[in-house]
């Protein structure tokens, strides 16, 4: 099919070959557009680089979930003996190089499939660093240093972000980030994780599951942006697993001692100083949007000076006609792969197929893959109280006991869930929160229910699947306001 607008070389150029950019590009060619995708990965300070597909595929969701699964399997070996399996937990140790090889082989296969998919769909892939010459001309700096100008009607910025390093001595020289952990050739050993967001906690969780000593350094609070009661439960469950937390603490330097080990010096909120000797320092203190190399000023595109992110309106439009942005580069939007994918598809439909649907950024479900997982959708309890007033919010909650935990006598102390609802009428549910096994699988279905206007009346009249942990949402009937103990007596009544 001929290009939609013959006055431009391309109908759409996408800068960034991650989830959001690729989804937008593939949707666009499906509607007859001529599309090019620019993608280039700068090596991390430790020299790590990867192929096409963006953060999620290469150094995010996919390798993280695979390593989390490896950790769960290790725990399962210890539990299997209680169930009658003739296994020897004492011999169960992680082969780090073998794990890394398996994970990286899968990633490389995804990289290859992604390139083949672009070719089959007639999306032009340009392995080059993109920047703006002006609003309708994007320059691709190719690997050999030559430049190529792509003239286009529309531009979508989907460059995502990369981890930040703290401005302390030794951080860049000795530290790593999530960009590096999944492909490290040697075992990480004793690890200090600096940062207590979801990335830091997830990495700390699977490393401890592999048998490595882990310390998490928390500057302010755990899981900022999430429900804080649930965040405290998650971190307490990690402490129970043997993960050490240093609260209200920031690193001041990273050094290498005479034995070749790293020493992280730190200071807490009271001014007390200390040091932690380790083999690996992993920084997980946040991410910065990759906008500095785009030369946005050439196209007059505005961005946030603090985090380098780009503000857009409800149509993902920047301040410049014809220039849009999707994914983690957006200011004030959830940094989640499925969000970027759907936003990219909807944007392409509006640009090229008379689509009218806008991306709904509310009630987006997510899961933190810590050893005891945390899934949630909708508002935190704090946000609901702030928006509606404490007197207008009812919180239903319960502890529960997963059936599969009984025989190996696993701790059920932190298996907990709650529903944040409005008090009026049928009590509309505005937030669901769950800590326990397979949280992502549990919360996904309930996310659709919340988007559809779920009420406590409906939830309480839904028959659960027994015995499952997801069923516990249908059994919620005790409110925090009542003061009644939310601990169940039995599982079947």
What is the spatial distance between Cα 487 and Cα 492, in angstroms, rounded to a whole number?
14
Q: How far is CA 134 from CA 36, 155, 203, 482, 491, in A?
A: 17, 11, 41, 62, 64
Tokens describing residue 411? 């701790």
Contact 21, 343 (CB under 8 A): no
Q: How long a stretch of residues is the chain? A: 493
The pTM of the whole model exceeds 0.75: yes
136 is catalytic: no
Task: Look at residue 490 in the predicted model and tell me its pLDDT.
Answer: 73
**Choosing from 78, 136, 154, 466, which is the catalytic residue?**
466
Task: Look at residue 461 in the predicted model and tell me its pLDDT.
Answer: 98
Task: Look at residue 489 in the predicted model and tell me its pLDDT.
Answer: 73
Give the pLDDT of the chain (493 residues) as one tens digit per residue.
Answer: 344 556 999 999 999 999 999 999 999 999 999 999 999 999 999 999 999 999 999 999 999 999 999 999 999 999 999 999 999 888 899 999 999 999 999 999 999 999 999 999 999 999 999 999 999 999 999 999 999 999 999 999 999 999 999 999 999 999 999 999 999 999 999 999 999 999 999 999 999 999 999 999 999 999 999 999 999 999 999 999 999 999 999 999 999 999 999 999 999 999 999 999 999 999 999 999 999 999 999 999 999 998 999 999 999 999 999 999 999 999 999 999 999 999 999 999 999 999 999 999 999 999 999 999 999 999 999 999 999 999 999 999 999 999 999 999 999 999 999 999 999 999 999 999 999 999 999 999 999 999 999 999 999 999 999 999 999 999 999 999 999 999 987 777 6
What is the spatial distance between Cα 330 and Cα 308, in angstroms, rounded to a whole number?
9
What is the spatial distance between Cα 266 and Cα 245, in angstroms, rounded to a whole number?
13
15 membership: H or E segment, kind and range: strand 10-15
Give ∠ CA 271-275-278 in degrees, rounded to 5.
150
Task: Look at residue 41 in the predicted model and tell me its pLDDT.
Answer: 97
Tokens describing residue 338? 């499925």
């Amino acid at each position: 099919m001929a290009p939609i607008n013959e006055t431009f070389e391309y109908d759409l150029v996408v800068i960034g070959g991650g989830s959001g950019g690729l989804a937008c590009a593939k949707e666009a060619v499906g509607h007859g557009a001529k599309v090019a995708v620019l993608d280039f990965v700068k090596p991390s300070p430790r020299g790590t680089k990867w192929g096409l597909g963006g953060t999620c595929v290469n150094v995010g969701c996919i390798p993280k979930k695979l390593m989390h699964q490896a950790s769960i399997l290790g725990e399962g070996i210890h539990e299997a003996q209680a169930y009658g399996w003739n296994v020897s937990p004492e011999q169960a140790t992680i082969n780090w190089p073998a794990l890394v090889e398996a994970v990286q082989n899968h990633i490389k296969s995804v990289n290859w499939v992604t390139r083949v998919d672009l070719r089959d769909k007639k999306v032009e892939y340009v392995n080059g660093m993109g920047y703006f010459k002006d609003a309708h001309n994007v320059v691709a700096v190719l690997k050999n240093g030559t430049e190529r100008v792509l003239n286009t009607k529309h531009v979508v910025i989907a460059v995502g972000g990369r981890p930040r390093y703290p401005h302390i001595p030794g951080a860049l020289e000795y530290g790593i980030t999530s960009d590096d952990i999944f492909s490290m050739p040697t075992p990480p050993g004793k690890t200090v994780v600096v940062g207590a967001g979801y990335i830091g906690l997830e990495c700390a969780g699977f490393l401890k599951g592999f048998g490595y000593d882990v310390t998490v350094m928390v500057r302010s609070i755990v899981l900022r942006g999430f429900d804080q009661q649930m965040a405290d439960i998650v971190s307490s469950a990690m402490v129970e697993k043997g993960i050490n937390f240093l609260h209200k603490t920031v690193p001041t330097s990273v050094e290498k001692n005479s034995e070749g080990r790293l020493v992280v010096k730190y200071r807490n909120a009271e001014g007390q100083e200390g040091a932690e000797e380790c083999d690996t320092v992993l920084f997980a203190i946040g991410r910065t949007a990759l906008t500095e190399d785009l030369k946005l000023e050439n196209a007059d595109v505005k961005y946030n000076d603090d985090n380098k992110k780009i503000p857009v309106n409800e149509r993902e439009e920047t301040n410049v006609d014809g220039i849009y942005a999707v994914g983690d580069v957006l200011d004030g939007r959830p940094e989640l792969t499925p969000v970027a994918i759907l936003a990219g598809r909807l944007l392409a439909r509006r640009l090229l197929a008379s689509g009218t649907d806008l991306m709904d950024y509310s009630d987006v479900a997510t899961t933190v893959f810590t050893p005891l997982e945390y899934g949630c959708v909708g508002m935190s309890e704090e946000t609901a109280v702030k928006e509606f007033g404490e007197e207008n919010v009812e919180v239903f909650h319960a502890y529960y006991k997963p059936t599969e935990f009984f025989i190996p006598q696993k701790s059920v102390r932190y298996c907990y869930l709650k529903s944040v609802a409005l008090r009026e009428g049928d009590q509309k549910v505005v937030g669901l929160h769950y800590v326990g096994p397979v949280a992502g699988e549990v919360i996904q279905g309930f996310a659709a229910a919340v988007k559809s206007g779920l009420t406590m009346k409906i939830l309480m009249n839904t028959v659960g699947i027994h015995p499952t942990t997801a069923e516990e949402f249908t059994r919620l009937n005790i409110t925090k306001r009542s003061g009644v103990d939310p601990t169940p007596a039995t599982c079947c009544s």
